Amino acid sequence: MGPVSTASLEVSGLAFAYPDGHQALFGVDFSIARGERVALLGPNGAGKTTLVLHLNGILNGGAGTVRVAGLEVGRRHMAEIRRRVGIVFQDPDDQLFMPTVREDVAFGPAAAGVRGAELEQRVDRALGRVGMAEFKDRPPHHLSFGQRRRVAVATVLAMEPEILVLDEPSSNLDPASRRELADILRSLDVTVLMVTHDLPYALELCPRSLVLSDGVIAADGATADLLADDELMRAHRLELPYGFDPRSVPAAPGRS
C-alpha cells in the first residue's frame, strides 16, 4: 500500500498522439492527494477524455508516466490499476447490461474472484452508499436515468477503488437527481476526479480544479478562484451559466 502520504494520482510529462498523428496531450503534470475531490475542466477537444483513458491503461504508449497510489500504470500492474481506478462513464447504460441491479454491481468483483458472502457484502455496501439498496432485484432498464447513474457509481464502488473518475456526472439529470448525486459524492471516502462542463457543479463539489486546454494543464487552483478569473475563463472557452456569480456560492468543503 505504501505510506499514507502517497498521492492517489500522479501524472508526469504525459504526452500522447493518436495513430492518425493528432496529438492530444503535450506534457501533462499534476498530482492529487488521497481523499481530494478535484474537477477537470476544459473546452471540447482539450484532451480530457484522452487523459482519463490513460488513468487505467485503456490508452498508453505515449511519453510520461501515470502512477496510482504509487503504482505505475503499465502492463505489470494492470489488473490492480483497473481495480483501483473506477471510471463512471457519461451514459450509465454503457455500464449496466445484466438482468438485475444486483448482478450488475456484482459483475466486477465476481470477475475479480470475489465470491459468496463477501460478494453479497460488496453489493449491499455499494448500493447502500448510493441509496439504491431497495432496488437490488430490479431490472436496470426499469429505473429512472438518475437512478441508473447511481447504480453505475455503485458498480464501480463495489470494486473498492482508490480513485473514482466521473465523466460529466450531472449531464441529463433533473435538479433533484443532481442534488442527490452531489450528496452521495460528498459522502464518499474516496479520491474523486470529476470531468465536467457543469461549472457550478464543480464549484459545489470540488475545492480544487484543473483546467486542461490544448493538451496541457493551463491552470490548477481553488475552483472558486479559477471561475472568478474572467480572463482565464475567456482564454480557455469556459462559460458560466448566464447570471451565475461564483463569488456568491460558498466554496466546496474539503481539502483544496
Question: pLDDT of 196-239, one tens digit each?
Answer: 999 999 999 999 999 999 899 999 999 999 999 999 999 999 98
103 domain-assigned: no
108 domain-assigned: no
Taking 80 as the threshold, does the pLDDT of residue 7 lie above it?
yes
Q: What is the dihedral of CA 195, 176, 155, 172, to 10 degrees?
A: -50
What confidence score (pLDDT) does residue 149 get?
Answer: 96
Its domain, for residue 234, covers: 9-95+165-240
pTM assigned to the model: 0.91
Taking 60 as the threshold, does the pLDDT of residue 177 lie above it?
yes
Q: What is the mean pLDDT of the chain?
A: 90
Tell me the average pLDDT across 4-26. Answer: 87
245 domain-assigned: no
128 domain-assigned: no
Q: What total of structural domains would you count in the chain? A: 1
47 domain-assigned: yes
What confidence score (pLDDT) does residue 255 get?
Answer: 47
Which of 255 and 59 is assigned the larger pLDDT?
59
252 domain-assigned: no
182 domain-assigned: yes
Lowest average pLDDT, out of 64-78, 114-128, 178-192, goes to 64-78
Question: pLDDT of 125-136, one tens digit each?
Answer: 999 999 999 999
What confidence score (pLDDT) does residue 82 get?
Answer: 87
Q: State the pLDDT confidence band at 2, using cuts at 50, 70 and 90.
A: very low
Taking 60 as the threshold, does the pLDDT of residue 111 lie above it?
yes
200: CATH: 3.40.50.300
127 domain-assigned: no
What confidence score (pLDDT) does residue 248 get?
Answer: 73
What confidence score (pLDDT) does residue 62 get?
Answer: 80
Lowest average pLDDT, out of 52-61, 97-106, 110-119, goes to 52-61
Taking 60 as the threshold, does the pLDDT of residue 65 lie above it?
yes
